[in-house]
Amino acid sequence: MGARIGSVIDDSRLPELSNDEISRYSRHLLLPEIGMEGQRRLRAAKVLIVGTGGLGAPLALYLAAAGVGTLGIVDFDFVEASNLQRQIIHGVRDIDRPKVASARDRIKGINPDVNVVEHMTRLSSGNALEIMRGYDVVADGTDNYPTRYLVNDACVLLGIPNVYGSIFQFEGQASVFYAKEGPCYRCLYPAPPPPGLVPSCAEGGVMGVLPGVVGTIQAGEVIKLITGGDGGLVGRLLLFDAWRMKFRELRLEKDPVCPICGENRSIHELVDYEQFCGLRPAQGEAPVESLTALELKARLDAGDAIQIIDIREPHERAIAAFPGAKPIPLGQMARRIDEFDQDIDAVFLCKIGQRSIFAIRALREAGYKGRLLNLQDGVNAWARDIDRGMPQY
């Protein structure tokens, strides 16, 4: 069981509940662990949800239903058809709408009394502290390492608890990183994985119900932080495998040499998280040359000699095969270097043009001297701009 850490809400500013609110939240009021005081704390609370995707959807829906007074939502993206398999806060009619607008309408449809604050922007080192300041809890629903480290560091600097969740394929994680009471995200993951080692959900896939489970766990943790409930996930990492239907738990300890929450911290301000996670080329490293689908089509029509290398795995190529491409999965790239003709341009492709960049860098590191090109935006760009009969996924 997690330790009781008390409510993050200042009880001096608790509002009274109307008769309508007492009726609406009666099932909460009947719970002695929440009761009138806990519901008043929920009404007073301000929670920021970073991302309104798979995790942000159940977070926003359940926190709105629970009566959280103010919900801030941060997202710069627009709703796509591929989101609807798991992002249940959006619907078909919302395709091409800003996610924050779609989420706002759905939140208001559940509970019109919730104050929704929209932040339609990409969270960055330049705006994170300004956006997050004034919220009682931050719930991290992001899907990339730079933003996770950014959210963590901003929460530590502001003294705000960070309710963390992550998902990939069939597995999810959840914890509460609250430097005042326990470890932070950097205590668990001092350094990010090498670029390209862990693909995003857009590249690796995710079981549709998984974010519903993990996001709902996060929502429960937010409610406990607000109402002062014990048994929370501070100092604990919950692991969930939806395919095998198993939960596991790891104890987390505060790292005394953590650079941001340790005894002699070295990080006192937000940094460049793209660079920290190795997503920017190293100093002196040649940039990866790319070409668009239209440019590749023009070269093929002109009869240019080109090697087209498809780095996707077999199950992914079965979704949308690329004509004339040689399949060499990313993990086999360096050891199959002898299969390339270094006198002929080689074009690398994947789903969205990200993993193929890492394939090119791997070949360079292995000593390949020929010209290497990346298909910008990958197979999806070819389906969008050249072959409309090919599915985008």
Catalytic residues: 201, 350
> Which DSSP letter does residue 349 get?
E
Phi and psi (nearest 5°) for 268?
-120, 0
Buried b (16+ CB within 10 A) or exposed e, 201-240: bebebbbeebbbbbbbbbbbbbbbbbbbbeebbbbbbbeb
Comparing C-alpha atoms, which of 211, 169, 162 is closest to residue 187?
162
Q: Are 139 and 94 in contact (CB under 8 A)?
A: no
- Per-position DSSP letters for 139-204, written without gaps between them: EE---SHHHHHHHHHHHHHHT--EEEEEEEBTEEEEEEE-TTTS--HHHH-SSPPPTTSS--HHHH
- Per-position DSSP letters for 251-311, written without gaps between them: E----TT-TTTSTT----S---HHHHTT-SPPTTPPPPEEE-HHHHHHHHHTT--EEEEE-
Beta bridge partner(s), residue 241: 171, 246
| Angle between helix 35-44 and 210-227 (nearest 10) | 110
Look at residue 48 and give its three-state secondary structure: strand
Look at residue 248 and give its three-state secondary structure: strand
- And the tokens for 316? 């992914």
Say how far apart CA 135 and CA 70 lie, in whole Å: 9
